[in-house]
Amino acid sequence: MKKFLATCSLVLAFLWLAACSSAQPSTKVELSSMPEIEGIVYHGDIPKNPQKVVNFAYSYTGYLLQLGIDVSSYSLDLEKDSPAFGDQLKDAVQLTTADTEAIAAQEPDVILVFAGDDNLETLKEIAPVIEITYGKSDYLEMLTDVGQIFGKETEAQAWLDQWEEKVTAAKNELNGVIDESTTFTVMDFFDKNIYLYGDNFGRGGELVYKALGFAAPAKVQEDIISKDGWFGVSQEALPDYIGDYALVNVNATTKEAAASLKESDIWKNLPAVQAGHVLEVDYNLFYFSDPMSLDLQIEAFVKAIKDAQ
C-alpha cells in the first residue's frame, strides 16, 4: 500500500510539474527571415527582435537606432560623440572584436561586424553574427536592408518617405541661392594630412552628391568617386580638386591641422576660399551617412550655404 501511495504521489507530482511548465509563456525566439541581400552574410540563426546587439559595423549604428533596435556597444568615439545619436549610447560599452571575454559577458543576441573581421570565427561561437561588406548597398538601400532583416520594413519606409520630402524642401530652399551646376569638394583632416571624399564614404558626400545632386569637380570624379571613394592629397595639388565650394569637416581633434592649412598661400589663393565658399561643418555630425545623421546634416548644410552668401 505504501509503495502504491508513493507511486501515486510521484505521478501526481509529475503531472503538476508538467501543468506548471505548460502554463509558462513560451521563450522561443522569433527568427529573422534572413533575406538574401548582396554584401550580407548570416552566421547562425538571426533573431528578428534582438534585445541586445553588439555592433562593430559602426557605419550602421544610426540605422539600427533609427529602427528602434537597441545597441549595447560602440567601436568609435565618433559614435558616442555623435550629435545625431544624442544619449542613446550613454550606457553602451566600448569594445573591439578582440575583446572576446567582454563581448561574451554582454550575452548579445546578435553581433554585427564588417566583412573580413579577423575575429569572426571566435565571435560566431558567442552569438549569431551578421557580416556586412561596406558599400554593397548605398546609403538609402541599407536602411531597407536592415529593415528587412529585423522586420522593420514599415519603419524603414516611413523614414525614406519623409527623407524624400525633406530633400525636396531643401532643394526648393536653395533654389535661387546657389546654381544647380555648383560643384562641391568634401574634405577633412587626419594626423595633419588632407583627405578628400566621394559619394559613399560619409563626411557629407552622400548628402551633397547623391541626395541634393550637386556635382564634384572633374578630378574628384576621376580620382575619388570612380575609384576608392577617398583620396589623400597634398596642399600643392589642392587647386586641382577644390570646386566652387569646399565642405570642410572639422572637430576639436582636427582643428589644428585645419588652421595650419588656412595659413598657407595655396589655400588663401583658392577661388572658393576667396569667394567665402568654405563651409566648415561638425565632423562628429557629418562623419556618418545614416538616417539619424542625415536628418541633422541637411539642416546644417542648408544653413551653412545661406550663411556663406
The whole-angstrom separation of Cα 84 and Cα 300 is 12
Q: What is the pLDDT of residue 270?
A: 97
Q: What is the pLDDT of residue 165?
A: 98
* Mean pLDDT rounded to a whole number for the chain: 91
The whole-angstrom separation of Cα 178 and Cα 184 is 12
Q: What is the pLDDT of residue 5?
A: 43
51 pLDDT band, cuts 50/70/90, is: very high
101 pLDDT band, cuts 50/70/90, is: very high
4 pLDDT band, cuts 50/70/90, is: very low
What digits encode the pLDDT tens for the residues 235-261?
999 999 999 999 999 999 898 888 889
What digits encode the pLDDT tens for the residues 183-233?
999 999 987 789 999 999 999 999 999 999 999 999 999 999 999 999 999
Indicate if the pLDDT at residue 17 is higher than 50. Answer: no
Average pLDDT over residues 58-70: 97
The whole-angstrom separation of Cα 107 and Cα 115 is 22
Task: Specify the long-range contacts of residues 42-45, CB closer than 8 Å, at least 24 apart.
Answer: 42/128, 42/129, 42/130, 42/131, 43/120, 43/124, 43/128, 43/129, 43/130, 43/131, 44/124, 44/127, 44/128, 44/129, 45/128
Indicate if the pLDDT at residue 6 is higher than 80. Answer: no
Cα–Cα nearest to 62, from 229, 303, 296, 231 = 296
Q: Work out the end-to-end distance of the chain between its first and last CA atoms, rounded to an integer number of angstroms.
A: 101
Q: What is the pLDDT of residue 215?
A: 98
Indicate if the pLDDT at residue 8 is higher than 70. Answer: no
pTM of the model as a whole = 0.89
Cα–Cα nearest to 32, from 24, 23, 22, 40 = 40
What digits encode the pLDDT tens for the residues 120-175?
999 999 999 999 999 999 999 999 999 999 999 999 999 999 999 999 999 999 99
Domains and CATH numbers, the chain: 40-153 (3.40.50.1980), 176-307 (3.40.50.1980)
The whole-angstrom separation of Cα 285 and Cα 62 is 11
28 pLDDT band, cuts 50/70/90, is: low
What digits encode the pLDDT tens for the residues 70-98?
999 999 999 999 999 999 999 999 999 99
